[in-house]
Amino acid sequence: MVRTGYSYPCAEPVWRILYFFMIYSPINFKEINYKNELLSGLTVALALVPEAVAFAFVAGVEPLVGLYAAFIVCLITAVFGGRPGMISGATGALAVVMVSLVSTHGVEYLFAAVVLMGILQILFGALKLGKFIRLVPEPVIYGFVNGLAIVIFMAQFGQFKIPSAEGGLEWLSGTSLYIMLGLVALTMFIIFILPKLTKAVPAALTAIVVVSAIVIGFNLDTRTVGDMASVGGGLPSFHIPMVPLNLETLQIIFPYSLILAGIGLLESLLTLTIVDEMTNTRGRGNQESIAQGMANVVGGFFGTMGGCAMIGQSIINVSSGGRTRLSGITAAVMLLVFIVSLSSLIEMVPLAALVGLMFMVAIGTFEWASFRVLRRIPKSDALVMVAVTVLTVIFDLAIAVAIGVVIAALVFAWDSAVRIRARKRVDEHGVKHYEIFGPLFFGSTATFLEKFDVANDPDEVVVDFAESRVVDHSGIEALNKLTERYLSAGKKLHLRHLSEDCHRLLEKAGDIVEVNILEDPHYAVVTDKLS
Give 401-442 pLDDT, tens digit per residue: 889 889 988 888 888 888 889 999 999 989 999 999 988 888
513: pLDDT strictly greater than 60: no
Task: Tell me the percentage of the chain whose pLDDT exceeds 70.
Answer: 88
Q: What is the mean pLDDT of residues 262-280?
A: 89
Task: Tell me the percentage of the chain whose pLDDT exceeds 90.
Answer: 43
**How many residues are present in the chain?**
531
Say which range, 18-32, 73-87, 247-261, has the weakest mean pLDDT: 18-32
Q: What is the mean pLDDT of residues 327-356?
A: 92
Phi and psi torsions of 503, nearest 5°: -55, -45
- Half-sphere exposure of residue 152: CA atoms within 13 angstroms, side-chain side: 28
400: pLDDT strictly greater than 60: yes
Domains in the chain with CATH codes: 33-180+230-344 (no CATH), 420-518 (3.30.750.24)
Q: What is the mean pLDDT of residues 445-473?
A: 90
Are 125 and 289 spatial neighbours (Cβ–Cβ below 8 Å)?
Answer: yes
Q: How far apart are CA 173 and CA 161, in angstroms?
A: 9
467: pLDDT strictly greater than 70: yes
Output the average pLDDT for the chain.
Answer: 85
16: pLDDT strictly greater than 90: no
pLDDT digits (tens, 9 = 90+) for 118-149: 999 999 999 998 877 777 888 888 888 898 88
Pairing outcome for strands 161-163 and 169-171 = antiparallel
**Banded pLDDT at 505 (limits 50, 70, 90):** low
Q: What is the mean pLDDT of residues 518-529?
A: 42
pLDDT digits (tens, 9 = 90+) for 171-228: 999 999 999 999 999 999 999 999 889 877 888 889 999 999 999 999 999 999 888 8
